[in-house]
Amino acid sequence: MEIQEAKKKAEELQTLLNQYSYEYYVLDQPSVPDSEYDRLLHELIELEEQFPEVRTPDSPTQRVGGDILDMFVKVEHSLPMLSLGNAFNEEDLRDFDRKVRQAVGESFMYVCELKIDGLAVTLQYENGYFKRGATRGDGTIGEDITENLKTIKSIPLKIKEPITIEVRGEAFMPKKSFEALNAGKLKRGEEPFANPRNAAAGSLRQLDPKLAAKRNLDIFLYSIADFGETGVRSHSEGLDMLDRIGFKTNKERRRCATIDDVLAYIEEWTEKRQDLAYDIDGIVIKVDSLDQQEELGFTAKSPRWAIAYKFPAEEVVTTLKDIELSIGRTGVLTPTALLEPVRVAGTTVQRASLHNEDLIREKDIRIGDQVVVKKAGDIIPEVVNVLPERRTGEEKEFVMPTECPECGSELVRLDGEVALRCINPKCPAQIREGLIHFVSRTAMNIDGLGEKVISQLFQEKLIQDVADIYKLTYDQLIKLERMGDKSVNNLLAAIEASKENSLERLLFGLGIRHVGSKAAKTLAQEFGTMDALRKASREELTAINEIGEKMADSIATYFELEEAAALLEELKTAGVNMDYKGAKPVRAEDIDSFFAGKTVVLTGKLQQLTRNEAKEQLESLGANVSGSVSKKTDLVIAGEDAGSKLDKAESLGVPVWNEEKLIEELNK
């Protein structure tokens, strides 16, 4: 066979196989028997082995799984993957509805969708070809799992239109795949997965894509990351577009005109959820119109135009065997119930939070009690109440200690707090928990330094504070249990890479009381360097939006400590970055510019600037560049082939400029 003939034959086979795969995995309407698909796939594999040059990125043979990876590469999302606020009852949903109506009026529609219990992922396509896929991670930074996602047959390697687009969805393990996987594990004497969600997450985080390929995962796409130039005007239109270009979406979605319609949809699927071929843990409700979504906007963590209703938690009865006490990084003493193992919402639960002494007293919880346990939001186990009628007289009342169980220091209850606290700064438990916080994903994000490794290093006295992490050597680490040559080198590389983190990660990692990740970023943006922040007065700190007196006092007190100064000096000597590396937010009031404070929308193709260049220049001059036109839009910049956004701007009377007018104003 000549190369041209081989190429033609390969194209025919690829087209047929991709069509059959789409019919089977997306439409659930197979047109040929499995044996025919397998025969054609085997023929294509042999052809590509004989003529490797005919293999294309969208060939079905690329789904079998590539080479084993050394590690997952971190990727920053082009747009954040925000989490949704939760609703647990009708009252929460009606409150959400009231806020929506207050913001946009009475004329709007909701879209209700099943909340798939899986792993959120984002998929990027360039000119129609699947380019990259990543996990949600912390919402800003995820992990590149492209090779594993390619093994999911319902993810198209090439879509039906040659467009560049980023889409988001939920990868999951169907119940049948989960049952088959666990049956195999039990047969081999291995520990089975607790639930399909854990199994899906574990499969997509396999460094060997061939293992992921065997797990038979699936996906439902639920949104377009940036509607940009799609011409789509609503969320439901976006889902229809995803269907049209070859993606798999969940067909059980429904548009609802009122909150009562939403409640009826929830009631229906609360009853029918067990009949599905996959797990769901709730219902997602979104305002349909993209313009109204923009009017509603976002909080720091979630959109105001969407909410996730969580199904009522499953409740079970078990025995509370004991109460364990632990000290956190801020010195708070936390009691935890040790339970007779019991299955709750798909996982085996042996521990549950008791929060504090007041809760134990209020619920009259005693060691040996029969207790009702549930998972709050299907995630965190908690003791709901005790069953006093089942008591035998053998139960024991629990008495809180007066001394820290770790260091023996006196426990105190600060004014206005319900928790007991150890205030000894040298308490080993606080130091250990502080180290675990420092290396965590939302702080310095050091891969390989998990809780077990930190505890081991601390126990061996190899680290006593966070600066010691940067003094660790190969010779020290290789002696630890379960640490081979490759693990040690990967860990040292991750520690070295963390030195380049932007200032806000270090600030959050230091564990300054009351300073969360959002406040850390605000401080880093405002002051730019650690030195400038250390010199800031309480008055300068409280002058910043979101920094109250309590937080300002905590920050100033921390930097006044000699120990803090010494620690920061050690970190600086180790080469840890002390500067903010992100873009400093531009405040409209500080800029003398026509664009300052204006909401600008870009639409159509620009000739002299790329969209990103235009966006950056406008934002640097104080503009808020938005993705859709609404009555709040001040200006629309229309390039060639401008579509629905231009039409809407004209209908609303929003001023429209061409690119030449924009360039002229930018040059001023």
**CB–CB of 446/490 below 8 Å?**
no
Three-state secondary-structure class, residue 269: helix
- For the chain, what are the domain ranges? 3-63, 85-310, 315-412, 428-573, 588-667
> Which of 8, 74, 99, 115 is an active site residue?
115
Taking residues 425-433, what's their average pLDDT? 88
**What pLDDT is attached to residue 99?**
94
The predicted-structure confidence for 476-519, as pLDDT tens digits, reads as follows: 999 888 889 999 999 999 999 999 999 999 999 999 988 988 88
Architecture of domain 85-310: 2-Layer Sandwich (3.30)
Question: Checking DSSP bridges between strand 74-76 and strand 165-172, what pairing results, if any?
Answer: unpaired
Range in 246-250, 347-351, 643-647 with the lowest mean pLDDT: 643-647
**Distance of alpha carbon 113 from the chain centroid:** 19
The pLDDT of residue 611 is above 80: no
The pLDDT of residue 591 is above 80: no
Looking at residue 388, its amino acid is P
Angle (nearest 5°) at CA 53 between 52 and 57: 90
**What pLDDT is attached to residue 56?**
85
Tell me which fold the domain 588-667 belongs to.
Rossmann fold (3.40.50)
The pLDDT of residue 561 is above 70: yes
> Which carries the bigger pLDDT value, residue 613 or residue 371?
371
> Can you give the three-state secondary structure of 197-243, one letter per residue?
HHHHHHHHCCCCHHHHHCCCCEEEEEEECCCCCCCCCEHHHHHHHHH
- Angle at which helix 34-50 crosses helix 3-21, to 10 degrees, equals 150
CATH class of 428-573: mainly alpha
Tell me which fold the domain 315-412 belongs to.
OB fold (Dihydrolipoamide Acetyltransferase, E2P) (2.40.50)
Which of the listed CATH numbers 3.40.50.11030, 3.20.20.70, 1.10.287.610, 3.40.720.10 matches domain 3-63? 1.10.287.610
> How far, in Å, CA of 37 to CA of 48, rounded?
16
Length, in residues, of the chain:
668
**Quick one: CA dihedral 184, 137, 310, 223, positive or negative?**
negative
The pLDDT of residue 220 is above 70: yes
**What pLDDT is attached to residue 494?**
94
The pLDDT of residue 314 is above 80: no
Taking residues 133-148, what's their average pLDDT? 89
DSSP 568: H
> How far, in Å, CA of 454 to CA of 461, rounded?
10
> Which carries the bigger pLDDT value, residue 290 or residue 630?
290
The predicted-structure confidence for 20-44, as pLDDT tens digits, reads as follows: 888 877 777 888 887 888 788 888 8
The pLDDT of residue 586 is above 60: no
Name the token pair of 575: 């080469």
Catalytic residue at 521?
no
pLDDT band of 559, cuts 50, 70, 90: very high
The pLDDT of residue 470 is above 70: yes
> How far, in Å, CA of 27 to CA of 322, rounded?
52
| pTM score, whole prediction | 0.58
> Which carries the bigger pLDDT value, residue 416 or residue 186?
186
Taking residues 47-66, what's their average pLDDT? 80
β-bridge mates for residue 373, sequence order: 316, 383
Three-state secondary-structure class, residue 298: strand
The predicted-structure confidence for 324-337, as pLDDT tens digits, reads as follows: 999 988 889 999 99
Angle (nearest 5°) at CA 631 between 629 and 637: 40
The pLDDT of residue 141 is above 80: yes
The predicted-structure confidence for 204-218, as pLDDT tens digits, reads as follows: 988 888 888 888 999
The predicted-structure confidence for 365-417, as pLDDT tens digits, reads as follows: 999 999 999 876 556 788 989 999 999 999 999 999 999 998 998 898 877 77
**CB–CB of 277/175 below 8 Å?**
yes
The predicted-structure confidence for 414-428, as pLDDT tens digits, reads as follows: 777 788 889 887 889
Across the chain, mean pLDDT equals 88
